[in-house]
Amino acid sequence: MGIKSLRPMVELVEYALAVMASMLLVTGSVVVYDSFTSYEGTLQLRGAFSAVAGVADAALVNGSATSTLPLPESTIGCEGGTLYVSTGSGSLSQGIPVECDFQAKVSAGTHLVSFRTASGGLDLVVN
């Protein structure tokens, strides 16, 4: 068995290694992309909740508050003194010191969010 007879086998091994390396790179890229999109959704949820909770807190202090907020597709609601924002990435909530009972489905985009305190409770209007 000479060197000439080993050459096709060496080329086959080199080809297999190149294909495997390419497959590993593609798989790694998919994992990184999936991780990023999951993290991005979590960041959007946290940002939306923080913004909505800030406007609600201002309304509790001042009687009413309005702000223009960029929101992902979500549901803003309050039930039994718990304010929440839910998206496809999850849900965040916090207790508030007044009663409330509302829910609004919001499409992705910029919305005018208004909270006001009325008769011992909190109300929401989203435009």
pTM: 0.72
Q: Record the tokens describing residue 109, joined without a space.
A: 């985009």
Q: pLDDT digit string (tens) for 5-63?
A: 778 888 888 888 888 888 888 888 888 887 777 788 888 899 999 999 999 999 999 99
**Rounded-to-integer distance, Cα 104 and Cα 46, Å:** 18
